[in-house]
Structure 1
Amino acid sequence: MPDPYDGGPIPPVSNSSASGPPHSAALADACDAHLHIYDPRFAALAPAVASATVEDYRGLQALLGTRRAVIVQPRCYGTDNSATLDAIRKLGIANARGVAVVRPDVTEETLHALHAGGIRGIRFSLYTETHAVVGFEMVELLANRVAELGWHLQLHWTADQIVAHRDLLARLRTPLVFDHLARLPLPEGIAHPAFALVSELLARGNAWLKLSGAYLDSVVGAAGRYADIDPVALAWVRTAPERLVWGSDWPHSTETRFKPDDALLYDLLAHWTRTDALRRQVLVDNPAKLYGFEAA
């Protein structure tokens, strides 16, 4: 991978408004646990929201100094995980993992091929159900299918959806990963009942949460450095620091008018964790355990 930023001129990073490096020091084997690849070489079910190739992403790795990466299958490719597998191969399976999208008709042969290619979980992106290729009715069935592989279920659900499906979540024994701070809406934040529910699942030791996507529910936005998300992020850090990972959410496909500053997003983690030891836990130790990287 490219060397981290060395103090020279900052080359532009695709799909990012970063104009300089983060203030936070680089950590060996730091993991970006949530990004998407949109490669025009692969056919999509719907137009891709951006061109964001592995080569483009290497620029972000060089800026932030991250080495490990988790590529999450975007909606536009449906259940064709070829672009995600290709990205894992290019980044190198020693430092890359993936999260696929499958349906109940997936064969055992396909599941094992995905595992060999670096897939370690399946995603249910149902925050917006329109045009989703999976549904809530598939969750338990697929959870049972992937359990023997040691995979997890990655859930991008609204806070209300999390609460509505509390009984389902309580039954599942397959590890769960909640996207983007569990999408707690403001101004409710941690007062939303989803916070208590997800906290219980984290305490059970069967769930994880991504400190990612600060801009998704922030009202003050980049101009306010997403400060209104701080109480939510800090509450998760207090609640279960051993169950948290960080992700850039690059190339920020929801942000079509203005791309976030990835250096700022990276620095938010240092602001939320407050100590070097805790930041290392979130960036290095926790993702090594969740995704099966070698221990740092």
Structure 2
Amino acid sequence: MNLTFDLPPDACDCHLHIFDPRFAEQPGNGAPFEGGTAGEYRAVARRMGTRRAVIVQAKRYGTDNACLLDAVAQFEGQARGIAVVPPDVDDATLRMLHAGGVRGLRFSVWNPGDTVMTVDMIEVLARRIAGLGWHAQLHMSGDQIVAHADMLSRLPCPIVFDHMARLPPGLGVRHPAWGIVRDLIDRGDCWVKLSGAYLNTLQGGPDYPDATAVAQAFVRAVPQRLVWGSDWPHVTERAHKTPDTVQLLALLARWEPDEAVRNRILADNPRELYGYA
């Protein structure tokens, strides 16, 4: 599939994962993941027309960020990284990660059965990274956002919600997490990734009507606090056919027909959030 709209020169894919057989995965994940190297992603990026990337640490690597740092380096200044670290990480390691292009920590607590990080680590580590100018990237369910709203309001660093804040597809913006996320955005320290449409649907693709309704609501309300991500190579997609990544980007034209707003989501907002020159 080809895009029907032009991308700005510095368009950024703000959510993807890299898997490389040169780096050992943690035991317990079965066979190593295949088909997710930086070279393979760059072929997809050429199809999309994106130049910049934000690489998010994959759970299979735990708190070993070697693959992440290697992948960021391969983009020669055009990528940023989101790492995963233990609560007792030392300052020297954080400085090393920052020098390697890391600009945030990810807390994927959506599924307690396979999480590397836990909710109780968020506030502790947020205090550690605030001085670096990093953010806390949260993959939480809508119900988790509601349950931990007080903690989220106390975080001393910016927040980035993964995958449209995982509002339950049956409720969408009628879920109380919508109001909590909106309040955090209005404070000025919160962003949302327009990503993971296939994680936010009961109706399925390729149009994901229920996820599209949530995306459109975010675009209408807070376009200045949105970034877009592919979630390549779609390792969490199980319920539906693995999507075509270019087709996922093409959905953005349906979510926001105005070119200037799309360009803000694809280039201007990532430049501000991730510190691109």
2:215 equivalent to 1:233: yes
From 60, 63, 66, the equivalent of 2:44 is 60
2:187 equivalent to 1:204: yes
* Cα distance in 1 between the residues matched to 2:188 and 2:82: 20
From 132, 137, 155, the equivalent of 2:138 is 155
Considering only aligned residues, what root-mean-square deviation do their CA atoms show, in Å? 1.1
Worse-superposed segment, 40-49 or 174-183? 40-49
From 60, 68, 89, the equivalent of 1:84 is 68
What TM-score, normalized by structure 2, do the two folds share?
0.96
Worse-superposed segment, 254-263 or 282-291? 254-263
Q: CA deviation at 1:258?
A: 2.8
* Aligned residue pairs, count: 273
Q: CA deviation at 1:73?
A: 0.2
The match for 2:8 is 27
The match for 1:276 is 259
* Cα distance in 1 between the residues matched to 2:243 and 2:15: 15
* Cα distance in 2 between the residues matched to 1:280 and 1:185: 28
Matches within 5 A, 1:1-296: 20-45=1-26, 46-47=29-30, 48-93=32-77, 95-223=78-206, 225-256=207-238, 258-294=241-277
Indicate the SS of the match to 1:148.
helix
Indicate the SS of the match to 1:264.
helix
One-letter identity of the residue aligned with 1:68: R
Distance 1:108 1:152, change over 3 A: same
| Unaligned stretches of 5+ residues in structure 2 | none
Would you say the 8 A contact 1:173–1:206 is kept in 2? no
Distance 1:50 1:156, change over 3 A: farther
- Percent identity reads 51
What TM-score, normalized by structure 1, do the two folds share?
0.90
Indicate the SS of the match to 1:34.
strand
